[in-house]
Amino acid sequence: MKTSPAVFGLIAEFEDPTSLVSAAHQAHDAGYRRMDAYSPFPIEELHEAIGARHTRLPLIVLIGGVCGCIGGFALQYWASTIVYPINVAGKPLNSWPAFIPVTFECTILVAALSAVLGMLALNGLPMPYHPVFNVPRFALASRNRFFLCIEAKDPQFDLESTRRFLETLNPREVTTVAD
Amino acid sequence: MVLTNTADVAIPELAGYQRRLLIGGAVGMIASLAGLFMEPTQFLQSYLMAYMLWLGVTLGCLALGMVHQLSGGGWGVVIRRPIGAATRVLPVMTGLFLPIAFGMFRLYSWTNLDLVAHDEALRHKHLYLNAPFFLARAAFYFLVWNTLTYFLNAWSLEQDTTAEPGLARRMQKLSAAGLLGYGLTITFASFDWLMSLEPHWFSTIYGVLIMGGQALSALAVLIVVLVWLSRRAPLDKIVVAAHFHDLGNLMLAFIMLWAYFSFSQYLIIWSGNLPTEIAWYLHRLQTGWRAVGVTLILFHFVVPFLLLLSRAMKREPRTIVVVAGGILVARLVDLFWLIAPEFHHAGISVSWLDVVLPVSLGAIWLGCFIGQLRGRAILPLHDPGFDEALGRILEKAKAERSAAAH
């Protein structure tokens, strides 16, 4: 292995989204898995092109929603039948139709909170340091340039051969990213 | 390019389906005429249900089409032509209203003047609920709906041939006014044709409940049609998973909207607990009809809601078509729940006409729909959103086709 431990990966810069998507497809086809793509705006096909796995976020949100639903209903049931049993208009103490709106709101509240917190937990934000920012031109990723970074953690990564591979994808330039 | 052809040329088998559906529908209608002579009230009751389902699909498509004119978006571009074809069935649906107009004296108890004379509440409602005004209102609703359909379709055809950019703006302006008109007319139409079956009862949310139901029925039919179209040329490479995903999300939203409206109506009436308001629920929930209500909660909300939460379910044509078909059946059950208990207070009663009439009317509707679909190109090629929505997919499809040809 020629890879020195101080290298985070290799980053290729592209001038338009189509080249980035096609480069990502080719890198995935060539067997690279540990890579990430950066673009100033969301590109629908890109997610698929880098072979991103299905995220676990929907499951977290679902679990959050179910907890909120049960919790919201349980709170009202406990309050109005056990601790404060008050007869209102002769209706039963467990008047479930009246509990539905709050149950619904609690479902939404906990599901939305799980979505935000789950998203932060899964993507590791806020992240004060990321090696790609060591490349000065990377600032353009939020303007008009598109980047594909193959990380050194990839089992196929080799500083020389991966660089040669990236050069074949017609990038504007390929830069080594220091860790 | 094959896309500029009319659907008739692109998909030749449509003609055969149209003929078979129209013949089948006509046979079913003739068979159900036996019911008209044996039990005329049951026939009219089932006919009203079948008619409201398929009128709902037609008007739901009209409304969704107008929403898409205003909102734009890739989801609508691929279903624009089926939407247009569905709205052009409206003249036929206008004619099919006649049995209800002739049968109103059997359907609506407020047409019985003896009964009205002895009922204080109905005497006051007579100013609105009387036969001539009822018919005049119906004529007005159909005038509004047919006018909207006529102009939107005429301009869309003109856009196909001339590609004149100003037409899109004109369709948008009409759609904005049209949606307002649709909202008002459908509210009063649902009060007249469905809510007045029990003339003492009223619910202000009833109109939007019917409106949401119509959009849902329309979406279910459009998804089934789109899945069918996506299995053959020329749309096989153009309609992609993302389109079904969008339509599935819309269907999920309308299911939740229906549940929200239905439950709001129940919650308010249940909380108020007033004699005139609860009667409607009493003869539904304290008799055998309760089973229909439970079925609706399960199959008009819980099951499709849970299924449509899944992303994979929405993106796979084979699964979403089953969900959409199920929802269409649930829509029929919902209309059954709104109409049938008014005629059979004692308990649940299902007639063979409740099955034969919706199916036959549906076959006739689909036959007319296919007839309208055949006459135009299958995609709105000069729609301003066309390139944005489909440009990349079309390029890809073209490249794949030419690669396959070499």
pLDDT of residue A1: 46
- ipTM for this prediction: 0.74
From B50, B58, B60, select the one nearest B216 (Cα to Cα). B60
**Residues of A numbered 12-51 whose beta carbons fall under 8 angstroms of chain B's beta carbons: which are they?**
44
Collect all residues of chain B within an 8 Å Cβ-Cβ radius of residue A47: none
pLDDT of residue A140: 86
| Neighbour-count burial of B91, counting CB atoms closer than 10 A to its CB (0-12 exposed, 13-18 middle, 19+ buried) | middle
Question: Are B242 and A101 inside 8 Å of each other by CB?
Answer: no
d(CA A36, CA B325): 41
Residue A155 has pLDDT above 80, yes or no: yes
DSSP string, B227-262: HHHHTSTTTTTTS-HHHHHHHHHHHHHHHHHHHHHH
Question: Are A98 and B242 inside 8 Å of each other by CB?
Answer: no
A40-63 average pLDDT score: 85
**CA trace torsion B123, B124, B127, B130 (10° rounding):** -40
Residue A52 has pLDDT above 80, yes or no: no
Rounded to two decimals, what is the model's pTM?
A: 0.87
A107-122: burial string, b at 16+ Cβ within 10 Å, e else? beebbeebbeebeeee
Mean pLDDT computed over every residue of chain A: 88
Q: What is the number of CB-based contacts under 8 A between chain A and chain B?
A: 14
Residue A49 has pLDDT above 90, yes or no: no
The nearest CA of chain A is from the CA of B273 a distance in Å of 9
Question: Residue B111: enclosing H or E segment and its boundaries?
Answer: none
Nearest residue of B to residue A55, measured between CA atoms = B311
Q: Does A58 touch chain B (CB under 8 A)?
A: yes
CA within 13 Å, CB half, B354 = 17
CATH class label, A7-54+127-178: alpha beta
d(CA B383, CA B165): 9
DSSP string, A3-64: --TTEEEEEEEESSHHHHHHHHHHHHHTT--SEEEE-SS--HHHHHHTTPPPPSHHHHHHHH
Beta-bridge mates of residue B332: none
- How large is the greatest C-alpha to C-alpha distance in chain A, in angstroms? 81
Q: Does A160 touch chain B (CB under 8 A)?
A: no
Question: B-side interface with A, Cβ within 8 Å?
Answer: 242, 263, 266-267, 270-271, 273, 309, 311
* Percent of chain A predicted with pLDDT > 90: 35
Picking from A44, A89, A100, the nearest residue to B273 by CB comes out as A89
Question: Residue A149: enclosing H or E segment and its boundaries?
Answer: strand A146-151
pLDDT of residue A118: 95
Sequential pLDDT tens for chain B (406 residues): 467 778 888 888 899 999 999 999 999 999 999 999 999 999 999 999 999 999 999 999 999 999 999 988 888 888 999 999 999 999 999 999 999 999 999 999 999 999 999 999 999 999 999 999 999 999 999 999 999 999 999 999 888 888 888 888 999 999 999 999 999 999 999 999 999 999 999 999 999 999 999 999 999 999 999 999 999 878 888 888 889 999 999 999 999 999 999 999 999 999 999 988 999 999 899 999 999 999 999 999 999 999 999 888 999 999 999 999 999 999 999 999 999 999 998 889 999 999 999 999 999 999 999 999 998 888 887 777 777 777 767 777 777 667 666 6
Query: Structural domain boundaries of chain A?
Result: 7-54+127-178, 57-122
**Residues of A numbered 119-148 whose beta carbons fall under 8 angstroms of chain B's beta carbons: which are they?**
none
Nearest residue of A to residue B242, measured between CA atoms = A44
d(CA B230, CA B208): 32
The Cα-based distances of B41 to A74, B103, B107, B298 in angstroms read 48, 8, 7, 30
User: In which residue are the tokens 């559906």 written?
Assistant: B21
User: In which residue are the tokens 């290298």 written?
Assistant: A7
pLDDT of residue A141: 87
A5-30 average pLDDT score: 87
Residue from B256, B269, B270, B314 whose CB has the most chain A CBs within 10 Å, to mutate: B270
One-letter amino acid at A172 equals: R
Question: Are B267 and A98 inside 8 Å of each other by CB?
Answer: yes
